[in-house]
Amino acid sequence: MFKKILIANRGEIACRVIKTARRMGIATVAVYSDADRRALHVEMADEAVHIGPAPAAESYLVAEKIIEACRATGAEAVHPGYGFLSERASFCEELEKQGIVFIGPKPKAIRAMGDKIESKKFAAAAKVSTVPGYLGIIEDGDHAERIAAEIGYPVMIKASAGGGGKGMRIAWSKAEVREGFERARSEAKSSFGDDRVFIEKFVVEPRHIEIQVLGDAHGNAIYLGERECSIQRRNQKVAEEAPSPFLDEKTRAAMGEQAVALAKAVDYQSAGTVEFIVDKDRNFYFLEMNTRLQVEHPVTELVTGLDLVELMIRVAAGEKLPLRQPDVKLNGWAVESRLYAEDPYRNFLPSIGRLTRYRPPAEGRHGGATVRNDTGVTEGSEISMYYDPMLAKLCTWAPTRLEAIDAMSDALDGFVVGGIEHNIPFLSALMQHPRWREGRLSTGFIAEEYPEGFHPREPDEEEKAIVAAIAVAVELIRRDRLDRLPGRLAPHSGKLKSDWSVRIGDDYLPVELTSGSISVPLRIELAVAGGKPVTVASDWRPGEIVWRGTVSERKVTAQLYDILNGVRVAWRGLAVTARAMLPATAELDRLMPVKAPPDTSKLLLCPMPGLVVSVAVSEGQEIKAGETLAIVEAMKMENVLRAERDLTVSKINVRKGDSLAVDAVIMEFA
């Protein structure tokens, strides 16, 4: 077994590998760029080596710097994680020349399966079902248009060396092919150093289901069940689960056997994933093979009880797989939510900044469920524009699918993130979505269910009553605390105010305090909007963000954020502003004028921090709705900003290469 390994990666996957290596008694070496000097993975590792400037192309993607770090530290092996150099055969070969072990497959397998074009040719030759498409080199936009017309719309344009949704576009018409081709090629060049793309038929109502495989150097290969990864945005996975709610045993076995046959054909020696597109009739088509550890591997670990990183290390050290196919048993259900630094209310645009608060839910057993959080950040970490925006992977396990989903809801409700925008509100709403809970999924789920973008879910009457009860309970505790601060008048000794009014939106809900006293833990009875009295119990204290308690015996975990004269309650995908006040105050509040937001209709504002890639118009130019105005790059994704209506450009405030803050004025219109 190795005595020391180097992790050629950053963020949560570097931390994940360090945890397993530490448990196995293996010393670890981290590498870091200028932007990651104080990153969590640097602190966790036994040693750390600086490898260059912040851009990945000058640090994490430079194989020579990784190899030099191995020489300097005496690392015997390299775990590449995912992304960066994890699927670069030349890197693997150079390590072998230096006598350093690559913890992953051999170059032969990487070359055959790591390239999307070559892997499809290989799979077709091996008689694996593949999606119709054109696998040759596409010369230019005209060539792309001709190919798309021959295949038939819609088509998928993909970077050959791509992954993680980078360099990928769907085109529904001829007009979208050329721009999709150019954007996919540009993103592929900047992210992977390879601008080759290919085009294939886009399967309508597809499900993305993948098979986890394991192989060793002794000719053994097995599969560890499947993962459903159909909840995607911009072809990037958002939530995953294992097993799939769609597959039956027959289809699972057929997909697994095909995945193993493909792995054996290339002498696969490590953990890998064979991805399939599955249609509504359970016909499955080979999509690609990822010759690395997948981001979503924790859900497979939770349902199999195996440590995939440990198995990768042991295989790389020459050991045989410790189990055979009949030994693989799937137990219970696991769900993973990817927490991204992005604003769900602004079409999921990236958000950067410092984490002023970062408090994940406690890991371990919670009743009948298990919570796991794989992360690479901590409170105070800086989220930069140079890397992927994922903060953490929150996973829950339970005996059944709905129990795992409900456990995920509770965990998300208690996950505190501050300082940046994040997608927890969307993930929380997803867990309550009827279609998700029923398992009726497709890769178009987000686009179909949120065609106008994601907006806060409106509370129903029961939810309004729960929020109103929490708001009154919080207000009573706050007032009691103020009464008892030193230097104030003696606290009241009379009867508590029994009549309250809680403003939620334009509604004023009457709330009556029927019994109870102010103390912590709090236990009172309230009647909301003339309903039956309900018991509210909690040990919440002022200053705490997470409110945990019960409302009419229903367990509630909510996050509370102070606002002027009230509180914002974040719970189950809701973001509800509630103001508890006395009835006389409520009467005056009704008379207050509403402040109108400023008019920004004649401005193009930068929707997220990023770099200006290009400005497509000039001052004085008349443009039509839908035309491209500018392209801004953030976190390795190019975002096209288009005109929402016919306009005339009066002033342009930026140039190519400018670094912009959120809401910076890019241009003005007449």
Residues noted as catalytic? 288
Nearest Cα residue to 406 out of 366, 442, 440, 444: 366
Q: How far apart are CA 299 and CA 331, in angstroms?
A: 11
Rg (CA), the chain: 27
Cβ of 437: how many Cβ atoms within 10 Å?
15
Helix, strand or coil, per DSSP, at residue 74: coil
Bond before 542 cis per omega within 30 degrees:
no
CA distance 269 to 290: 13
Map residue 574 onto helix, strand or coil: strand
CA distance 224 to 277: 18
Helix (H, G, I), strand (E, B) or coil at 102: strand
Nearest to 478 by CA among 526, 431, 543, 575: 543
Question: Strand (E) positions, 8-139?
Answer: 27-33, 47-52, 77-79, 101-102, 133-134
**Contact criterion met (CB below 8 Å) for 550 and 538:** yes
CA distance 664 to 609: 9
Residue 474 contacts by C-beta under 8 Å, 6 or more apart in sequence? 540, 547, 560, 567, 580
Angstrom distance (rounded) from CA 317 to CA 106? 13
- CA dihedral 56→57→60→65, nearest 10 degrees, is -150
- Written in H, E and C, the secondary structure of 198-265 is EEEECCCCCEEEEEEEEECCCCCEEEEEEEEEEEEECCEEEEEEECCCCCCHHHHHHHHHHHHHHHHH
Six-digit token pair at 531? 């309903």
